[in-house]
Structure formats: structure tokens, C-alpha cells
Amino acid sequence: MITEIPTSDEFAAAAYAQFDFAWDIVISFLTTLDEAGQYVDVDKDDQTQFWEAARQRILTSLIIAQQGVELAIKGKLVGFSPYLLLAGSPSDWPKDKTGKGIEYSEFRTIDAQDLIKAYNTVSPQPFDPKFMELFERVRRLRNSAMHSVNAKLQISPKEVILIILEAHEHLYSGQSWVMARRDFLFSAPAAQIYFDNDHIDGILVREFWTVFNLLSKSERERFFKVAAGVRKYICPACKYHSGELDGPPPHYAVLSPNKPKSSTLWCFVCNDTHLVRRKKCITEGCKGNVISEEYVHCCTCGEEQ
């Protein structure tokens, strides 16, 4: 008998934990650099040295992200049958020495390179070829990072961010990475020791404002559903949370629907809509006409009305 058989949900939780950890590493460098720019002059040379010092840690985050991808695929396979993951023929399997059964974890599992093939064989819907390409590319990068000390092996923080966003999109389509990240921040060890965790929404805003600025217009549209050609406004709720941490007002909300008389802004970070009044801003030089009903500030320049 095989005991302690893991469930699909347990694998998914483990996969999410790895994505979150990899994201945490990369985002901490990006926000550190962003914040430093508010206080000191960070020139190109400083930036190069900063990323050189972070190089090994960024590679580590890639290794962790790849582990997350493997765990997520394993979880999907376990959804069909947990025995699909067991490697080798029965003659290679461990023996039941106690008579109480053999724990699942004692078995050798199939190699990472066979995960995709196993999934595509049993699933009625095979993986998207684009995901298979991503998996192969990341697996190779991870192997070079693990097994060599190639000083030329460079991975940018943006590459890791995109790997996580893209893998998450393929593996858990329909789930929001922003919401998953928010849940993680609220369940993080540090969140357990403070009486109130109001600042966590501010951390979330800072992270996604940084990532929003890092991505191209088409990447923003793909991963955050923020249309490329439309005007961006300050999200009133996110501005409030960002202000609690002395952060900048994030310009990433859009009119929904995008019409001249539209009276709601939609924000991908809050995943919420906010009422706005269509009235000209009183600040000189500002052409804005979208005023937050709740906070009574202009969503273009941020000034109080």
C-alpha cells in the first residue's frame, strides 16, 4: 500500500509558494532601486553595479520559479492520477519494510523533462505550444544556473517577472496573479506580528506600479487587462494606500467603459471600480476632468478639489 498520497491542491499550494518567493526576490530589488531614485541620483553605472551585485540572487529566483512550474504540472498530473508521477518499473520501487505501507515521498518521481509529455498524453487538452517553449527555455536556463558558474549567464529581473506572469497565466488561467500576491502578502510571516496590516495594500501598490512601469504596453494589456491605447488615471484607493508609505500616486486606472461621460474608473490592482465626477480640475495647467467622488481629488494631477 502507498500512504501519504499528495493531492492536486497541495501541489498547487506548493507551486504558488515558489512563484511568490521568486517574485519576492526580484521585486525587492526593483522597488529598492526605484525608491533609491527618489532620494539619490542613481546613474547608469550605479545601476549596472546594482544588477551585477544582484546577479546570483536573480538566478536563484529563476531556479525557484522553475521549481514552481514543475510543481504546478505535477499537481495537474495528480489530478488525473497520483501514480502518474511514479518513475521506474515495479522492480525498482522501494520495499515495504514495516508492513504499514510505503510513503509516497519515498518513490522516485518522473524527470522534469518528461512532465509535459506525461501531461499531454493523459489530458484531453494538451499544453499550449507557447507554454511548452517557455518550459523548455526556463528548464535550460535553470540547468545552466544550477550546474555551472558561467559569469556570462545573465537574466534580467524583467525576464523573471515575465516568466512568472506567463507561467501563471498558462497554468492557472482565469486566476489573478495580483490577487494571489495580495493573499501571500497578508499571510506572510511579518503580517502575523502586527496588530493592523493596513500598510500591506501600500506594498502591493508599490510592487505593481513598479511592474506596470517595467512592462511594455502589450504586456500590460495581456497580463493586467489594461488596454494599451487608453488614457491612464490615478486610482483613488491605490493613491491612498501608496500615500501611507509615502509612495507616488499610481497612474494605472482606466475609465470603464472608456467613454467621455463614463463615471467609473477600473483598477487592476484593487480589481475594483471607483466612482468619478466628470468635472474640470481646478488646478492651473491641468486638463483633467475625472475627479474622485470618494477622495475628491483629480485623478490626472492628484490635487485636491
Residues that bind Zn ion (CB under 5 A): 235, 237-238, 267, 269-270, 281, 283, 286, 288, 298, 300-301
Complex with Zn ion: residue 200 or 301, whichever CB lies closer: 301
Complex with Zn ion: residue 121 or 258, whichever CB lies closer: 258
- The least CB distance from residue 255 to Zn ion, in Å, is 14
8-state DSSP, 125: S
User: Rounded to the nearest 10 degrees, what angle do helices 157-171 and 129-147 cross at?
Assistant: 140
Q: Which residue type, as a one-letter code, is found at position 287?
A: K
User: E strands of 113-236, at which residues?
Assistant: 233-234
- The least CB distance from residue 209 to Zn ion, in Å, is 10
Complex with Zn ion: residue 13 or 275, whichever CB lies closer: 275
Distance CA 294, CA 267 (A): 15
Query: For the chain, how are helix, strand and coil distributed in percent, rounded to 5?
Result: 55, 10, 35
Q: Which residue type, as a one-letter code, is found at position 186?
A: F
- The least CB distance from residue 251 to Zn ion, in Å, is 11
- Say if residues 4 and 10 touch (Cβ distance below 8 Å): no
- The least CB distance from residue 34 to Zn ion, in Å, is 18
Distance CA 86, CA 70 (A): 15
Complex with Zn ion: residue 76 or 241, whichever CB lies closer: 241
Return the SS3 of 39. Answer: helix
Complex with Zn ion: residue 15 or 237, whichever CB lies closer: 237
Angle in degrees, CA 174, 209, 271, rounded to 5: 35
Complex with Zn ion: residue 112 or 301, whichever CB lies closer: 301
- The least CB distance from residue 301 to Zn ion, in Å, is 3
Complex with Zn ion: residue 23 or 266, whichever CB lies closer: 266
Structure-block grid coordinates of residue 73? 504540472
- The least CB distance from residue 136 to Zn ion, in Å, is 36
Complex with Zn ion: residue 102 or 286, whichever CB lies closer: 286
- The least CB distance from residue 182 to Zn ion, in Å, is 11
Please list, residue by residue across 66-83, b when 16 or more beta carbons sit within 10 angstroms of its beta carbon and e when fewer do.
Answer: bbbbbbbbbbbbbbeebe
- Say if residues 256 and 262 touch (Cβ distance below 8 Å): yes
Q: Which residue type, as a one-letter code, is found at position 211?
A: V
- Structural element, H or E, at residue 64: helix 44-80
What's the distance, Cα to Cα, between the start and end of the chain in Å? 71
- Say if residues 64 and 56 touch (Cβ distance below 8 Å): no
- The least CB distance from residue 303 to Zn ion, in Å, is 5
